Amino acid sequence: MKIPEPKKLSSGKYRIQVMVDGKRTGKTFATPEECIYWASGIKTKSIENDKSPRRITVSEAADRYIESKDAVLSPSTIAGYKKIKKNLMGPISSTSLPDLTQEKIQHWVNGLVKSGKSAKTIANAHGFLSAILSEYKPSMALKTTLPQKVKADIHIPSEGEIKAIVEASRGTRYELPIILALWLGLRQSEILGLEWSDIDGDYLHIRRAIVMGENGPVEKGTKTYSGTRRIHLPDPIKTLINAQPNKGTHIVPLTGKAIYSGFSRICEKAGTPHFRFHDLRHMNASIMLAEGIPDKYGMKRMGHATNNMLKTVYQHTIREREIEYDAKIDSKFEELFKPD
């Protein structure tokens, strides 16, 4: 950081001029020491506060991106970005944006693959980098070859397994969240966010969710615009809710970790495989599809903006019912081809 020499004026004072971002600026002081002190501050501030995207590193760009979005993105999304920056971006974090090439990004991705990271994890990390570059290096179009994602195999409990799980949960503090996920199709975060004020006669308003943020549970709005919805409350669920101790704001005063652990124990007690709590929501979708409920209603009830998840569950439902469908088809054609 070179500072020019102050020039003495005819008045006896000193003047110094510096270039900042291509523009000349100057000031007059009584002594040359004051000139140098001022110029040094101007240069330092320029370097620290006016670092253009051309000069910052990937790590610095990530921090800027996160800071600029922390008021509009979900707390869980922000926490996820920070986790990616800390745990996955090491090999490229100190690379300046002008030095970041497609080849370096591909080597970074290759390293993640070799270290055993899943295709989904790598896609999330690459997606975060892509968002950063679109903001601070928009001229760079990524053409990275990513590992092929393995299609997730949805595991949905059978009707017998569901009955066993419900029976094993009776009288426990996990009975209500299990029923809310299974019968109403609520997400775990939505169940945790339910408040007593959300009950309106025979209806339940889904207005918020509690997710895991960087420093613990955080309340936020529903996952999507469609997530804010009103669902009919059947009498058995109203009875369960009314039996809850109304000692606070939330209907289900549990943590996500408590529900996860408790549901695992319920599955073990029921003698079923270990299902994810979210699989209960899939079961709700599966039953609606099996009963011929229109997609549009199913989407509204479950808070989906599209029917992508319903289509995925639909394939599973078809496999579950294949034998029944085969028998119906065979029976019909046997009747058609039966000799008169």
145 or 339: which leads in pLDDT: 145
Smallest Cα–Cα separation from 231: which of 198, 259, 189? 198
Q: Are residues 73 and 97 in the same domain?
A: yes
For residues 190 and 80, membership in a common domain is answered with: no
**217 shares a domain with 302:** yes
**Are 171 and 302 in a shared domain?**
yes
Q: Tell whether 210 is covered by a domain.
A: yes
Give the CA count within 13 Å in the CB-facing half-sphere of 120: 4
Query: Do residues 215 and 132 share a domain?
Result: no
Q: How far is CA 147 from CA 128, 143, 185, in A?
A: 16, 13, 32
Q: Look-up: residue for tokens 């080597």?
A: 107
Please provide the DSSP assignment of 43-97 as one string.
Answer: HHHHHHH---TTT-BHHHHHHHHHHHHTTTS-HHHHHHHHHHHHHT-HHHHT-BG
In this prediction, residue 108 has a pLDDT band, given cuts at 50, 70 and 90, of very high
Q: Pick the residue with more confidence: 21 or 274?
A: 274
Q: Note whether 110 and 170 are same-domain residues.
A: no
Query: Do residues 112 and 227 both lie within one domain?
Result: no
**Phi/psi at 219 (5° precision):** -85, 140
Taking the C-alpha atoms of residue 233 and residue 180, their distance in angstroms, rounded to an integer, is 10
Cα angle 124, 128, 133 (rounded to 5 degrees) comes to 145
Considering 99, 121, 136, which residue would you say is the last residue of a domain? 136
The burial of 263, by beta-carbon neighbours within 10 Å (0-12 exposed, 13-18 middle, 19 or more buried), is given as: buried
Tell me: the pLDDT tens digits for 9-44? Answer: 988 899 988 876 667 888 888 888 778 777 777 665
DSSP letter for 138, please: T
CATH of the domain at 260: 1.10.443.10
Chain Cα centroid distance, residue 142:
22
> Would the pLDDT of 337 be above 80?
no
- Domain limits for position 90: 58-136
Are 193 and 285 in the same domain? yes
- Does 286 score more than 90 pLDDT? no
CA dihedral 19, 25, 27, 33 (to 10 degrees): -10
Q: So what's the pLDDT on residue 49?
A: 46
- What is the arithmetic mean of pLDDT over 101-129? 95
Q: Are residues 128 and 31 in the same domain?
A: no
> Other C-beta atoms within 10 Å of 76: how many?
17
Q: Is residue 118, in this structure, part of any structural domain at all? A: yes
Domain count, the chain: 3
Residue 144 maps to a domain = no
Which of 165, 191, 184, 190 lies closest to 244 in space, CA to CA?
191
Q: Are residues 188 and 247 in the same domain?
A: yes
Q: Are 217 and 74 in contact (CB under 8 A)?
A: no
Which contiguous run of DSSP H or E holds residue 323? helix 322-336
Contact 62, 89 (CB under 8 A): yes
Element of type H or E holding 211: strand 208-213
- Distance between alpha carbon 280 and the CA centroid of its chain, in Å? 20
Q: Is 63 found in the same domain as 35?
A: no
Find the range with the poorest average confidence among 102-106, 249-253, 268-272, 279-283.
Answer: 279-283
- Count of residues for the chain? 340
**Maximum distance among all alpha carbons in the chain?**
124
- Percentage of the chain lying above the pLDDT 70 cut: 86
Helix (H) or strand (E) holding 278: helix 278-290
CATH number, domain at 74?
Answer: 1.10.150
Mind listing the pLDDT tens digit for each residue in 118-173? Answer: 999 999 999 999 999 988 888 888 999 999 877 666 778 888 899 999 999 999 99
One domain, residues 253 and 292: yes
- 85 lies in some domain: yes
Q: What is the dihedral of CA 130, 131, 134, 140, to 10 degrees?
A: -10
**22-26, 44-48, 207-211, 268-272, range with the lowest pLDDT:** 44-48
- Is 175 a domain residue? yes
Residue 316's pLDDT is what?
Answer: 61
Asked whether residue 339 is assigned to any structural domain, the reply reads: no
Is residue 203 within 8 Å of 231, Cβ to Cβ?
yes
